[in-house]
Chains A and B, each alone.
Chain A
Amino acid sequence: MPAVGQDKLRKEGPKKLTGAALYVDDIPVKGAWHGVTVRSTVPHARIKDIRFLKGFPWKQAVVVTAADIPGINCVRLIEDDQPLLADAITRHVHEPVALIAHPDRSAAYESLKFVEIEYEALPAALTIEESLRKKAILRGSDNVFKQFRIKKGDAAKAMKKAWKTVDTVFRVPHQEQAYIEPQGMVSWFEKDGTLVLLGSLQCPYYIVKAMQPIFGLPEEKIRVVQAVTGGGFGGKEEYPNMIAGHAALLARKAKRPIKMIYDRHEDMAVTTKRHPAVVRHRAGIDRKGKLVALDIDVVMDAGAYLTLSPVVLSRGVLHASGPYTCADVDIRARCVATNTPPNGAYRGFGAPQTLFAAELQWENLSEASKIDSLTLRERNLVKIGSELSTGQILKESVGLKKCLEVVVKRSAYAKRRKEHALWNKKKTAPTWRGIGLAAVHHGSGFTGNGEVFLKSRASLSLTKRGRFRIEAAASEIGQGSMSTLSQIVADALGVPYEWIDLEVNDTRRVPDSGPTVASRTCMVVGGLLHAAARDLKAAILAKTKKFPKTETELQAAAKALAAKGPLRFTRRFEKNTDIEFDDKTYRGDAYGSYGYAALAVDLEVDRTTYEVSVKKVWTAQDIGKAINPKIVEGQIMGGTLQALGWALLEKPVYKNGAMINNQLTNYIIPTAMDAPAMDVVLVEEPYSRGPFGAKGVGEMPMDIPAPAVCAAIRQATGLLFPEIPVTPESIAEALRRKK
């Protein structure tokens, strides 16, 4: 019986369910000291002096400052602009300035009270607006880290000719990933000088690359191992480079293992968040409701250093026109520097920001044209043969229309809309009701030529003991990659799922299959393993006339085939010759394939308290092929709830350039009682290059709920909120202003 398409049980499930799975803080490390971080308290300043005051027994501790860095003081990512420890200048509150290790964890924290930093304040730009006004200059002459432009046709001319036009400024805030396991890393040096890092992370090979300039070590002297990881959502993509560098610096100086585990407050205050964005979105339609012009200006707040912002911006700009065709498009996008902690990867990676504007704008176009927003969408949806803003022609696997049809039908959208309109007219009703829709696309895998440059590799082995073993740096972070990849391999080999094992995610043992990001693990790494499995199967068949049918037969075959070590096949990503993208002009095939989704939200707004209760969500998502439907549904529902939180509850409050509600007590993420019932339908329009037709799934659910929520609130209250989160306070304020 095939494994693909079945709800196979999670490979690592039993250990997680019994407390036997070891997360970084659970791993006993003999002789480890605890590392803590001295951080800047000001947004922009010259550091004049760092003083270690009397009153703490400093002889018991080890202290590290920038002067202790043997190599280059940087957190290497796209650029080297971010220091591992601030030296002469600090560019944001909470920037690491020094590190302290002590045998006792509470003493290590206590020591922080005995460090004093003397500053000479510099002007600070704390918001996008202040950055654009050049209140402080952090980058180049204009604070712009990166800009992109996508231009197709003549948007200005088309806008003039349009029947109806709208012009709206949309704003979305930071969002905290809020993985329930805070970040943590353990580090030590082996006797042969090898640097070891063991921690909660998504991208082990990022850390290998980041450690090289700091310590001047060659790649083979750096070993990174993923501990069981308690959620990531992008938050553990690049930030672990920073903690790894810190733990390793302390380990080098203390000459013993160092454990650095952030507590929740530190984690929320200092780690990367979703980029806030301001999107000015102008759109024009003709009399038939056809989208004829789009003029979009996107600005994202990168924070003080570059980190991954250009790539986040790139995905944002490539999704800015939504899953619709439009002949004349002009999109300009910038990410700018501010004196705030750097923003970074978070599920969706730029797309939720621009799709919020693209989708919600249909409500304004509907208002202007008196054509309902569903009809407008239907008239403009992409289908096979459609052209996107980059000129990409969609050749296959476009399930958007089907997704929208399913959602409209299952949610009884038209009927509910009518019923709600009647309900809202009742003067005595305790609530207002609304239902709203959205539709999105999400590019699977790296943008543009990312996969070509990455050249990721994955291996499949037959071991001497007669087990198949997946060797890849794909990190299981809860998304179910272990099971998904095993199911792909099992069916490619034609063996039971239970015969497949996964090698520990340790850079000593697994090749660089690329980072665990961008909805790429199933599609890209799964694709490589699918190919490697075919190679391995052919090799086994070449030696044994009949492919082993039982474990005993396999063990017998393995004794001969893997006598001198595992029989291993490795596949490397190869460029698809008919997929072309020009990184300079942003023309061409931005992604090999896209997932598509539609979603409806039904909600009520209390007329007295303005509390919004989401009653139900219906969604249909075209993900090519659900390798494991249960896992895919879990991804969709989990992503949907994170996005509902972003739309309604999660409000990061910044003061003087730092998040001040950096705790789960007042940064509110949804509980089981905030979560609505969800109706999920999986649409499977296979992608010819994905394993068994699979495309990406992880991020798309994050893109779609926020605009649907705002559309529903509009029906309920008559108010269109171009800014999230829509809290009871924001509704009260808007109603007060309307009166």
Chain B
Amino acid sequence: MIRFTVNAKTRTFSGPPFKRLIDVLREDFGLTGTKEGCSEGECGACSVLIDGKPVNSCLIPVCQINGAKIETVESLGVPEKLHPLQDSFLREGGTQCGICTPGMLMSAVAYLRAGGDASPEAIREQLAGNLCRCTGYQQIVDSVARALGTKPKTGSKAK
């Protein structure tokens, strides 16, 4: 039996040891906030935190996480009370179709906790493992910068 915590709650798993973490989260625990985009660690939609570090949960067999601390998007906020990072994404246009958003948020939250640099270049590097096809990334970068307390420079310039 494998024992670990998910969003501060102790969980056990006694199924196939090579079941992917993403499937355990979605199928066994009903945590469908974590999304599957490519199944091979390219898109980052399934990013979760393992002991504080962002990883692609589609690449992790559950047997590897015995004793680990897992955090998913469900640990941040709820629609009625967003986490400050989620609120920044809402205000800066950081989510469009939303499918990359949970993974993007988990990569960003790790960056915030590490005291990440608010420069666009540094933010872009941190998010390079999370693909987004909707936004062109700028509003995501602005969202993270806003959460870091920097007011993004961009804004509409209607003529």
Binding site for B on A (CB under 8 A): 5, 7, 9-10, 12-23, 25-26, 28, 177-182, 228-233, 263-265, 402, 406, 477-480, 620, 626, 629-634, 637-642, 663-665, 669, 671-673, 675, 677-678, 680-684
A25 to B32, CA, bound (A): 8
Task: State in angstroms the CA–CA spacing of A509 and B31 once bound together.
Answer: 29
Residues of B within 8 A of A182 (CB): 37
Given the known interface contacts A13-B95, A637-B135, A683-B159, the answer about A19 and B42 at a Cβ–Cβ threshold of 8 Å is no
Q: Is B66 interfacial (CB-CB < 8 Å)?
A: no
Q: Which of B33, B100, B154 contacts A180 (CB 8 A)?
A: B100
> Chain B contacts of A26 at CB under 8 A?
26, 32
Q: Which of B79, B92, B128, B158 contacts A18 (CB 8 A)?
A: B79
Q: Which chain A residue has the least Cβ–Cβ distance from B23?
A: A105
In the complex where A638-B134, A664-B40, A682-B156 touch, is A17 in contact with B125 (Cβ < 8 A)? Answer: no
Q: Are B139 and A17 in contact (CB under 8 A)?
A: no
| A17-B95, A20-B78, A478-B134 known; A673+B128 contact, CB < 8 A | yes
**Assuming the A-B contacts A682-B156, A684-B159, are A675 and B138 also in contact, with contact meaning beta carbons closer than 8 angstroms in the complex?**
yes
Find out whether the CB atom of B135 lies under 8 angstroms from the CB atom of A638.
Answer: yes
Which of chain B's residues 87-109 have a Cβ closer than 8 Å to chain A?
Answer: 89-93, 95-102, 105
Which residues on B sit within 8 Å (CB–CB) of A664? Answer: 37-38, 40, 42-43, 131
- Contacts A18-B77, A19-B72, A630-B93 given; does A673 touch B135 at CB 8 Å: no
Extra inter-chain contacts (12) besides given A25-B32, A180-B37, A673-B125, CB under 8 Å: A18-B86, A19-B72, A22-B32, A179-B99, A180-B132, A228-B98, A233-B133, A477-B97, A478-B98, A632-B156, A671-B129, A675-B124
A160 to B82: give the CA distance in the assembly, Å.
67
B residues in contact with A181, CB < 8 Å = 35, 37, 97, 99
Chain A residue numbers with a CB within 8 Å of B80 are: 14
**Which B residue sits closest to A634, measured CB to CB?**
B93
Query: A19-B72, A20-B78, A626-B156 given as contacts; is B95 within 8 A of A180 (CB)?
Result: no
CB distance from B63 to the nearest CB of A (A): 17
Contacts of B159 in A (CB 8 A): 402, 406, 620, 681-684
Most central of B80, B86, B90, B134 by chain A CB within 10 Å: B134
Return the contact of A672 from the options B32, B73, B128 (Cβ within 8 A). Answer: B128
Do the beta carbons of A638 and B33 come within 8 Å of each other? no
A346 CB to nearest chain B CB (Å): 12
Q: Is the CB of B43 within 8 A of A180?
A: yes
Q: Which residues of B contact A10 (CB under 8 A)?
A: 90, 93, 95
Q: A233 to B97, alpha carbons, bound, how many Å? A: 11
Given A180-B43, A669-B131, A230 and B139 touching (CB < 8 A)? no
CA distance A179 to B45 in the complex (A): 12
User: In chain A, what residue has the closest Cβ to B102?
Assistant: A19
Query: How far apart are B70's CB and chain A's nearest CB, in angstroms?
Result: 14
Quote the shortest CB–CB distance from A702 to chain B (angstroms): 12
- Contact check: which of A18, A21, A637, A673 meets B139 at CB < 8 Å? A637
Chain A positions within 8 Å of B79 at CB level: 14-15, 17-18, 20
Inter-chain CB contacts under 8 Å: number: 203
Q: How far is the CB of B8 from chain A (nearest CB, A)?
A: 16
Interface range on chain B: under 10, 10 to 19, 20 to 34, or 35 or more?
35 or more
- Tell me if A23 and B99 are in contact (CB < 8 A): yes
Most chain B CB within a 10 A radius of its CB, from A23, A182, A228, A478 = A478
Closest CB of chain B to A208's CB: distance in Å? 23
Contacts of B105 in A (CB 8 A): 17
Query: Contacts A15-B79, A478-B96 given: A264-B38 contact, CB under 8 Å?
Result: yes
Give the distance in Å from the alpha carbon of A681 to the alpha carbon of B45 in the complex: 31
- Does the CB pair B39–A263 fall under 8 Å? yes
Closest to B36 in A: A25
Residue contact B131 to A19, C-beta cutoff 8 Å = no
**Interfacial chain A residues near B139, Cβ < 8 Å:** 630, 633-634, 637
Task: List residues of chain A with CB within 8 A of the CB of B98.
Answer: 12-13, 16-17, 21, 228, 230, 478
The reply to whether A663 and B38 form a contact with Cβ atoms under 8 Å apart is yes
CB <8 Å contact, A479 and B99 = no
Closest to B95 in A: A16
- Report yes or no: B40 in contact with A18, Cβ–Cβ below 8 A: no
B9 CB–A CB distance under 8 Å: no
Residues of A with C-beta under 8 A to B40: 264, 663-665
CB distance from A509 to the nearest CB of B (A): 22
- Nearest chain A residue, comparing its CB with the CB of B103: A180
Are B157 and A230 in touch, CB under 8 angstroms? no
Are A675's CB and B156's CB within 8 A? no
Q: Which parts of B17-55 form the interface with A (CB within 8 Å)?
A: 26, 30-40, 42-43, 45
- Residue pair A18, B38 in contact (C-beta under 8 Å): no
- Residues on the A chain within 8 Å of B127, using CB: 671-672
Could you tell me the distance between the alpha carbons of A647 and B123 in the complex, rounded to whole angstroms?
A: 25
- How far is B31's CA from A564's CA once the two chains are assembled, in angstroms? 41
**Is B147 in the interface zone, CB < 8 Å from A?**
no
Chain B residues whose C-beta falls within 8 Å of the C-beta of A629 in the assembled complex: 156, 158
Contacts of A178 in B (CB 8 A): 133
B136 to A675, Cβ gap below 8 A?
A: yes
B82 touches A7 (CB 8 A): no
Contact B72 A634 (CB under 8 A): no
Contact indicator A17/B32 (Cβ below 8 Å): no
User: How far is A549 from B154 in the complex, measured between Cα atoms in Å?
Assistant: 35
Contact B91 A9 (CB under 8 A): yes
Point out the residues of chain B lying under 8 angstroms from A9, CB to CB: 90-91
* Bound Cα distance from A557 to B105, whole angstroms: 43
Chain A, residue nearest B75 (CB): A19
Q: In this complex, what residue of B is CB-closest to A14?
A: B79
Assuming A18-B73, A672-B137, is B157 touching A478 (CB within 8 A)?
no
Chain A CB within 8 A of B140 CB: yes
Q: Are A18 and B78 in contact (CB under 8 A)?
A: yes
Closest B residue, CB atoms, query A402: B159
Partner pick for B133 among A19, A265, A638, CB 8 A cutoff: A638
Contact residues in A for B72 (Cβ distance below 8 Å): 19
Chain B residues contacting A642 (CB-CB under 8 Å) are 133
Q: List, in ascending order, chain B residues with CB within 8 A of A180's CB.
A: 35, 37, 43, 45, 97, 99-100, 131-133
The 5 lowest CB-CB distance pairs between A and B, nearest first, are A19-B33, A478-B97, A230-B99, A16-B98, A629-B156
In the complex, A264 Cα to B131 Cα: how many Å?
14
- B136 and A637 within 8 A (CB): yes
Q: Which of B32, B35, B93, B137 contacts A641 (CB 8 A)?
A: B137
The answer to whether A638 and B136 touch across the interface, beta carbons within 8 angstroms, is yes
Asked if A17 contacts B128 (CB within 8 A), the reply is no
Residue B65 is within 8 A (CB to CB) of chain A in the complex: no
Smallest Cβ-Cβ distance to B45: which chain A residue: A180
What's the Cα separation between A406 and B102 when bound, in Å? 37
What chain B residues lie within 8 Å of A680 (beta carbons)? 154, 156-157
B138 touches A637 (CB 8 A): yes
- The distance in angstroms between the C-alpha atoms of A402 and B128, with both chains bound, is 35
CA distance A332 to B99 in the complex (A): 41
Cα distance, A230 to B101, chains bound together (Å): 10
